[in-house]
């Protein structure tokens, strides 16, 4: 079956690496990639205002069943990658992290491994409702780009029972594209993420 996958990544640092991953993905039969926007379109939406960019990213996630976060050195810090993760959780997409720091850039260089972006986002319970949280580098805070409660019935994993933050990564798989032969295996990784989410 066709698997529509949204790829989330840090554009300015990792677009070359991300395109290499994308090319190995679309070479497989029945695979459809989403999330590879032309930079000019992204920047135009960003220049208008945050709400325009959020709407643009939500539109990009439509009709997808999996979000694959391509993690480079600083992907975990990026506001809009976090927003794509947040909207993927709300939407019920399967999620996975694929580390791409070992993929060579256009100049032949690799980069340092960064933190898992899915470990920097979490959910917690407050007064019986589920909310999103994000890691600032020193503490967990309420996620400011989406402040409404998430219906617990929409989660594909068991929600937290207390106000302690549950990292999204605790329910998702992470892989190293270079060391684990991603050019051969990424299709299986994405199918696993879809299966975990019941998608």
Query: For 95-106, how does the pLDDT look when each residue is reduced to its tens digit (9 = 90+)?
Result: 999 999 999 999
What are 85-139's pLDDT values in tens digits? Answer: 999 999 999 999 999 999 999 999 999 999 999 999 999 999 999 999 999 989 9
Q: Minimal CA–CA distance to 100: which of 128, 81, 124, 84?
A: 81
Q: Domain locations in the chain? A: 3-114+172-196
State the CATH architecture for 3-114+172-196. 3-Layer(aba) Sandwich (3.40)
CA distances from 162 to 76, 82, 149, 152, 198 (A): 25, 23, 15, 13, 25
Whether the model pTM is above 0.75? yes
């Amino acid at each position: 079956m066709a698997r529509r996958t949204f790829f989330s990544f840090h554009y300015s640092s990792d677009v070359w690496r991300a395109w290499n991953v994308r090319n190995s993905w679309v070479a497989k039969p029945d695979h459809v990639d989403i999330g590879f926007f032309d930079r000019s379109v992204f920047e135009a939406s960003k220049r208008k205002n945050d709400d325009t960019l959020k709407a643009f990213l939500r539109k990009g996630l439509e009709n997808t069943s999996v979000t694959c976060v391509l993690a480079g050195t600083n992907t975990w810090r990026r506001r809009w990658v976090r927003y794509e993760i947040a909207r993927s959780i709300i939407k019920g997409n399967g999620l996975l992290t694929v580390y791409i720091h070992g993929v060579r850039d256009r100049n032949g260089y690799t980069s340092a491994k960064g933190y898992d972006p899915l470990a920097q986002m979490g959910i917690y319970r407050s007064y019986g409702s589920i909310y999103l949280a994000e890691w600032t580098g020193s503490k967990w805070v309420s996620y400011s780009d989406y402040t409404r409660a998430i219906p617990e019935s929409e989660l594909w994993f068991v929600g937290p029972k207390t106000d302690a933050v549950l990292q999204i990564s605790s329910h998702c798989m992470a892989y190293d594209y270079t060391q684990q032969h991603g050019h051969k295996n990424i299709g299986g990784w994405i199918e696993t993420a879809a299966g975990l989410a019941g998608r």
